[in-house]
C-alpha cells in the first residue's frame, strides 16, 4: 500500500514560521493577544472547510500584505510560496498601499471585490471574517460600548460592515461557514441593540 503524502508539508511549516516572524510584534486590536492566534484560527477554519495546502498557507499570510509591507511583501510571498498562494493572499487583501484609503470606501470596494472573487479566495475571507466577528462579539460582551472605540467605523460602521459581509456571503457562497458568519453577526447585532 503506498504511503500518502501529508496534506500539510514543509511549505506549510515554512509559511507558519514566516507568518509568525512577520507578525511577531503585532497584537490583536485592543488586546495583548499575539496576532498569530488570529492567523492560526483562520487557517484552522480554512482547513475545516476543506481547503488545500495553498489555501492554508494563504490563510496564515492573508494579512501580511495589509499589515506588514504592502506590495514588496506580496512579491516575497510569491517568491517563497508560489504564484497561486500570492494570488490567494492578494484576493484577501483590501489595501496594499500606505497610507490605506479611507475606511468606508475601502470596505465598500472590498465587498464588491468579493462578489467576483474565486471560491478558493472566498473560503479564506470567510474564515477571516468568522474569526474577527467572533472576537468582536466576545469583546463586546466583555466591554460593552467601549469596544467600538477600537474600530475606525465605530459602532454603526462596524455593524454595517459585518451585516453586509454576511448578506453578501449568503448570496455568493454556500456551506456551514456562511451560516456560522450570519449567526455570529445576528448575535452581535442583537447584543449591541439591547
Task: Determine whether 67 is an active site residue.
Answer: yes
The reply to whether 122 falls in a domain is yes
pLDDT in tens, 41-51: 999 999 999 99
pLDDT at 62 over 90: yes
**132-145 mean pLDDT:** 96
- pLDDT value of position 168: 97
Query: pLDDT tens-digit profile of 9-35?
Result: 999 999 999 999 999 998 888 888 999
Domain that holds residue 165: 10-193
Q: For residue 156, indicate whether it is catalytic.
A: no
Q: Which of 52, 67, 96, 139 is catalytic?
A: 67
In a domain, 1, yes or no: no
> Is the residue at 168 inside a domain?
yes
Per the domain annotation, does 84 fall within a domain? yes
In a domain, 2, yes or no: no
Catalytic position from the list 53, 54, 63, 66: 66
Number of domains in the chain: 1
Return the pLDDT at 95: 82
Q: How many CB atoms within 10 Å of residue 155?
A: 14
Read off the CATH number of the domain in which 37 is found: 1.10.3210.10
The model carries a pTM of: 0.93
Asked if residue 5 belongs to a domain, the reply is no
Amino acid at each position: 500500500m503506498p504511503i500518502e503524502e501529508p496534506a500539510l508539508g514543509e511549505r506549510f511549516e515554512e509559511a507558519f514560521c514566516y507568518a509568525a516572524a512577520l507578525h511577531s510584534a503585532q497584537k490583536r486590536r485592543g488586546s495583548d493577544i499575539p496576532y498569530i492566534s488570529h492567523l492560526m484560527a483562520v487557517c484552522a477554519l480554512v482547513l475545516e472547510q476543506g481547503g488545500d495546502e495553498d489555501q492554508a498557507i494563504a490563510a496564515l499570510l492573508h494579512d501580511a500584505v495589509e499589515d506588514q509591507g504592502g506590495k514588496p511583501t506580496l512579491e516575497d510571498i510569491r517568491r517563497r510560496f508560489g504564484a497561486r498562494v500570492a494570488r490567494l493572499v492578494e484576493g484577501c487583501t483590501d489595501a496594499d498601499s500606505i497610507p490605506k484609503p479611507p475606511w468606508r470606501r475601502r470596505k465598500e470596494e472590498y465587498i464588491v471585490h468579493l462578489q467576483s472573487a474565486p471560491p478558493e479566495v472566498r473560503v479564506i475571507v470567510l474564515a477571516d471574517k468568522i474569526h474577527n466577528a467572533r472576537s468582536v462579539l466576545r469583546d463586546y460582551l466583555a466591554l460593552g460600548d467601549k469596544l467600538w472605540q477600537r474600530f475606525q467605523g465605530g459602532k454603526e460602521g462596524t455593524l454595517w460592515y459585518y451585516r453586509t459581509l454576511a448578506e453578501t456571503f449568503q448570496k455568493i457562497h454556500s456551506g456551514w461557514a456562511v451560516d456560522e458568519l450570519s449567526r455570529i453577526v445576528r448575535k452581535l447585532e442583537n447584543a449591541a441593540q439591547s
